[in-house]
Structure 1
Amino acid sequence: MSKFFLVFKTQLLAVANSGRNMRKNRKQKATTLTGYVLMWLLMMALAAVYEFIYGAAFAAGGVMDAFPALIVFVASLLTLLSSISYTKSLIFCSKDYDMLFALPIRGSVVVAAKIATLYVLDLIVTMAILLPCGVIYGYFAAPSLMFYVRYYTLALFVPMVPILVAAAISALVSLAASRFRHAKVVGTIFSVALFFVFMLGLMSVTESSEEEIATQFSGIAETLTALYPPLRWFMDGVLGDFLMYLLFAGVSALAFAVIVFLFGRFYGKIHGIFSARAHRARYKLSAATGGTTTALVKKDIRRLLSSPGLMLNQLSGLIMLVVFMIIFLAGGDAFGAETAEQGEQIADIFGVLFPYLFAMCASMASLTCASISLEGKNFWLLRSLPVSARTVLSAKLRVHEVICFPVIVVCGAVTAVLTKASIVDTALLVLLPLLYSYNAGALGLLLNLKRYNFDWTNEVMVAKNSMPVMVVMFSGMLTSLFPGILVMVLYMMADVSTAISGGIMTLLALAVSVGLTVLLRKKGERMFEQIEA
């Protein structure tokens, strides 16, 4: 058991590690930890607002008992998707394999520690979703005190079964994709498609009225429990069925044990198979024909396309942007309007909010937040190239622009054409999200130059859990949603033209872009030169 906790502690520290530049004093570590806690609290607050809207709808429809099932199902799906994205790199292709197996520790202990690390990371996100769910259910349903005891103890077991399924899917997809010539690209496409389908289904539900939501999920709850039987056990368990309570906890714990046994028993062989497949392709080093910047851009794009976890985590905002556009343009009655006049009013409101919703999604996709850290132990090779710091940083930012900008322009243009937007509204739909996206890229690069981490063993953890990623994501959400709400209020209450308010916001975003560019060229280049490789 002591060996398990030793490996488990090492894995957690590797995930939480912020790099050598953050090991200098306790004050910096305390600041980083405080930042993580504040981000988690903000995530929980956003989930609480979202869940309260659904809770009110379920209470109005008299199907409040189905509400926890829906939230648990969503939490399980999020766990499944996030676990798929980094199970392979954490377990099957871990970079610390040789180091761990040089120690006198059994493979099952190593796997158990890695799965426990994965469980803790997923539990942090799961509890941010499930903690407010229990409070909201209590507010509307007024259950007994024992409900909270049963609910929050069972919530600890929620991530276990999805982790088992994610590990199986990750292994099967990787093995199946390896039969193709571009195996990593195929695996990446599958992961992105799975996330896209999930977001499409989830966001399509948010466009319904309260009555429609309640009516839909009174029946869909039964469908969900049929598709995912542990949901029924969870629902019955928290409502007082002790046998179902034990069944859910027991099956969840058994799922953890199955992963540890199977992967621990054959860990060496499994890792050997995946490592062999990963290195079987020929490695070619060819001279760049398009210039130094182009060569660096191609290198980073190839790395992004070869990792489903990186693609899924760094492009989730763009996927949300495409899904949101599809949902809004799919039909006029999707917003729960009872009359044509109400439909026009709702469409008018969304027309005002569109540039800011698009900007929010665009700012949540930053490919630069971990671009420096992802160089890892090979950063010294990048530093040894006969190129300036400005060229390297420009290439990092160019990758962000090449991938994000076309999606933003196409979504904005399609929305403008189909909604018959004016020239001013069309300009806002395109320019504002582009500026927010550029700001996210420039800010992410600056933050990563300040908070880099070259000691990672799992590249997805760097792209998922680092402070630059969280700061850019939440700052983008806050600086787009609040102005959007303010513009909508001014438009509805004071009849302020969207051309005026939107023009002011565009100028402010442009000023921020200029400021970030100046910082990147002056301070960013100096920070790059001072990094200890």
Structure 2
Amino acid sequence: MALLGGWVIAYFSGRMKHKSLVGTVLSIVLTGVVLVGSLQINALAAALLQNIEGVRRTLHTWLLPLGLLLDGLVGSWGALLGFLLISLAPFLALVWGMSTQYKRILSSLASHVTRSDYRLREVKAGGRFAALFKKECGRYFGTTIYLLNTGIGAVMLLGFSVYVLFVRGQAALLVAQMGGAQAVAPMLAAVVCLMQATVNPACVSISLEGRTLWILKEAPVPPRELFGAKALVNVLVSDVPATLSVLLLWFGLGLSAPDALALLALCVCMGLFIPVAGLAVNLWLPRLDCENDTIVVKQSASSMIGIFGGMLVVGLGALLWAVGGKLLGFVWFSLAAAAVLLAGAALGWHWLCGSGARILQKL
């Protein structure tokens, strides 16, 4: 399935004008299909238990491969060998069919369309920061591996919030069983902040400049504006979905106004802290010599520390809540945590504009 999905994305991306956009959209759609399918596992298991005899008969007719697998798992080596041989045939056929288009797909992905509709017109002028911000947005939304690996948390958070809104009747019953909205608020805070911790493009944004970092260093752009453009993209990608999610959860779960507003303040401050910390980590552990973006986004030390470090911050907050945060109550605890995160973001930004700028010049 992964092989087929990758082939479909590459095949259609190579035939479209906006390759990166098409690849990103198809990747998100296929990811959504996988997530929706995964949610049906419980229903499938219940259906199997209700009709176990019919399933057993079917496993030895048109679902014979699964029947052979079942027999192999309970000790039949012959059935297991038959299952492997049956599985191997379509796999080899699929690989052979895709390999015939391999070179053509690679060529189409690397090709560029020559325009012939140029027009002489006035070009609008813009500031340095606007140009940097536009460049960062173009890289983020134009690089599929970058967007999906650092933005999937925001997509999942919005999807969860919309789902709760549509099933708010059932959600209200579940909330009542768990002790009411006031008891659920700390869990929601942990979930939302944990998803925000995974939205950290800033922790690899400097490494993605690669061998072209010298252009930004030699340009008449102060480091403050460069860091600000990179951080602003992270803030928008993190805080906008989180804010929408909190508003949807407020209505869908019936949270009280103080709890919802405290949760919103906590999420906004979390979205400000994460990019500042991510930039600091990337300056500390840059990776400017990678052959492609995938290595930077998925395998570099700064990406690992940036993502899991944010999760540790959420875990520390959950531990403090379990130890003594309940004495303050959710509202005051959230506001205190938001103040700490905001102070951390301010101190981190001060460090970036001072020591961070000097480290950038040495890279």
TM-score class, shorter? 0.7 to 0.9
For the residue of structure 2 that corresponds to 1:280, the secondary structure is coil
Aligned: 1:270 with 2:105: yes
**1:241 is matched with which residue: 50, 65, 76?**
76
Alpha-carbon separation, structure 1, partners of 2:322 and 2:237: 30
Query: Which residue in the other structure is 2:7 paired with?
Result: 168
Unpaired segments of 5 or more residues in structure 2?
none
For residues 301-312 of structure 1, the aligned pairs below 5 Å read 301-312=137-148
TM alignment of 1:163-312, pairs within 5 A? 163-175=2-14, 178-179=15-16, 181-199=17-35, 202=38, 215=46, 218=49, 235-247=70-82, 249-250=84-85, 267-276=102-111, 279-280=112-113, 289-312=125-148
Contact kept, 8 Å, 2:262 with 2:334, in 1: the verdict is yes
Assess if the C-alpha contact under 8 Å between 1:321 and 1:358 holds in 2: yes
Structure 2 residue 206 is the aligned partner of structure 1 residue 372: yes
> Mapping of 1:445-524 within 5 angstroms?
445-484=279-318, 487=321, 496-524=328-356
Q: Distance in 1 between matches of 2:302 and 2:252?
A: 36
Q: Distance in 2 between matches of 1:458 and 1:165?
A: 22
User: In structure 1, what is the Cα distance between the partners aligned to 2:64 and 2:202?
Assistant: 41
Q: Distance in 2 between matches of 1:381 and 1:227?
A: 61
Aligned equivalents of 1:517 and 1:346: distance in 2? 39
The 3-state SS of whatever aligns with 1:353 is helix
Q: Which has the higher contact order (CA 8 A, sep 6+)?
A: 1
Contact preservation (8 Å) 1:355, 1:429: yes
Mapped pair 1:426 → 2:260 = yes
The verdict on how the C-alpha distance between 1:455 and 1:245 changes in structure 2, with shifts beyond 3 A counting, is farther
Q: What is the count of residue pairs matched by the alignment? A: 353
Question: Judging changes above 3 Å, is the alpha-carbon distance between structure 1 residues 250 and 436 closer, same or farther for their aligned structure 2 residues?
Answer: farther
Inter-partner Cα distance in structure 2 for 1:420 and 1:385: 51
**C-alpha separation between the residues in 1 aligned to 2:183 and 2:37?**
23
Q: How far apart are the structure 2 equivalents of 1:490 and 1:460?
A: 42
SS of alignment partner, residue 290 of structure 1: coil
Equivalent position SS for 1:321: helix
Are the structure 2 counterparts of residues 373 and 243 from structure 1 closer, same or farther at C-alpha, using a change threshold of 3 Å?
A: farther
Rounded to whole Å, the distance in 2 between the matches of 1:366 and 1:499 is: 26
* TM-score in terms of structure 2 length: 0.80
Output one character per residue of 1:427-454: Cα deviation in whole Å (capped at 9) or x when no partner: 2222212222222211221222222223
TM-score, normalisation: structure 1? 0.57
Report how far residue 256 of structure 1 moved. 7.0
Q: 1:528 aligns with which of 331, 337, 360?
A: 360
Which runs of no fewer than 5 residues in structure 1 stay unpaired? 1-161
For the residue of structure 2 that corresponds to 1:369, the secondary structure is helix
Give, in whole Å, the separation in 2 of the partners of 1:220 and 1:364: 41
Identity of aligned residues (%): 23
**What is aligned with 2:238?**
404
* CA-CA distance at 1:274 after TM superposition: 2.0
Q: Distance in 1 between matches of 2:98 and 2:44?
A: 41
Q: Aligned pair in 2 of structure 1 residues 275, 341: CA closer, same or farther (>3 Å)?
A: closer
Look up the SS of the partner of 1:315 in the other structure: helix
Whether the 8 Å contact between 2:223 and 2:357 is mirrored in structure 1 is yes
The answer as to whether partners of 2:71 and 2:80 remain within 8 angstroms in 1 is yes
Displacement of 1:227 in angstroms is 12
RMSD: 3.8
- The 1:261–1:414 alpha-carbon spacing in structure 2 relative to 1, beyond 3 Å, is closer
How far off its partner does 1:530 sit? 0.6
- Which residue number in structure 2 is paired with residue 57 of structure 1? none
